[in-house]
Every structure is written in structure tokens, then in C-alpha cells.
Amino acid sequence: MAKDEKSTFPGSLRDHQDAVKAEAEKVSTKIDGAFGKLAKKMRERAEKAKAKMGRARKPEKRAVMQQRFELYADAATHLEERLPQREE
């Protein structure tokens, strides 16, 4: 941008930067909400698998439920760990 353009359009670059920043904050908030919602869903599924694991009589079923619990819990933890990084 040339000097002449800056003087001709005062504040337009600033307005553009503010609009971009506002949009980025809006989108980041939506992403954080989606991450939080998905993490909550994974945590609930992990707890459900854990409860089924405790009720399972067959060792095979118990092993399947334990694996399911671990996978869901790991997914929830991964998502929850990403949330603070996005807030920075």
C-alpha cells in the first residue's frame, strides 16, 4: 500500500484487521464449543463402557468393554487437552 492510499482511506486497514480479528474469535469460539461438546460425548461413552465392563461376566466381553472404555477416554482426554491451547 502506498503512502497516498493510507491518507486517502484512513482507518480502512484498521477496520479490516478488526473485522478479521472478530471473525477469528467468533470461529474459535465455535470450534472450542464443538471440541468441548465432543469431549463430553466421548467421556460419557467411556463411562458407559466402564459400567458395562463392571457388569460383564464373560472375560471376552469385559476385555471388549475395557478396550472401548480406554479408546473413548483417550479421545476425550485428547480433545480436552486441545481446548486450553486454543484459548491462548
Q: Report domain extents, the chain.
A: 15-87
Q: Which of 71, 81, 77, 35 is nearest to 50 (CA)?
A: 71
Q: Which of 5, 29, 28 is nearest to 16 (CA)?
A: 5
pLDDT of residue 86: 59
What is the phi/psi pair of residue 10, to 5°? -65, 130
Blockwise average pLDDT, block size 10, the chain, 88 residues: 52 84 92 93 97 95 96 95 70
Dihedral, CA of residue 20, residue 82, residue 53 and residue 44, to nearest 10: -30
pLDDT of residue 38: 96
The three three-digit cell numbers of residue 52, written as one number: 458395562
Dihedral, CA of residue 13, residue 16, residue 22 and residue 24, to nearest 10: -100
Q: Is the pTM of this model over 0.85?
A: no
